[in-house]
Homo-oligomer: A and B are copies of this chain.
Amino acid sequence: MQDQSQPVFRALADPTRRAIITMLSEGPRATGEIASEFDMSRPAVAKHLTILREGGVISVKPRGRERINHLNPQALKRAAMWLNYFDEFWDDRLSNLKKLVEE
């Protein structure tokens, strides 16, 4: 079980980064467009984007002089799966059903 999930959980640890994730769930955004939504400098936001990229949470496609940031839900799934392991402790009913469905 050893820590493949560390970069994802690290990415999730900061509220600004979680806000960026939420923002990108509505659709891809250019870097500057994201930065303009926050009360901090563009390089600060750029650093957060780097950490999100390192965690595999977002991917970037250059388009002209812009860089378009896309959410990469696969990476979030890794963290969700880790947490869902504990499902059984808070919701046996739903967890059992899920297992059934997955079979």
Contacts and interface: CB of A to CB of B under 8 A. Distances in A.
Q: Give chain A's interface secondary structure class.
A: helix
A73 interface: yes
A50 interface: no
Contacts of A85: 25
Interface string A61-95: 00000000001011011011011111101110010
Contact of A98 (B3, B10, B13, B94): B94
Interface residues of A, number: 34
A45 interface: no
A91 B74 CA distance: 10
A89 B25 contact: yes
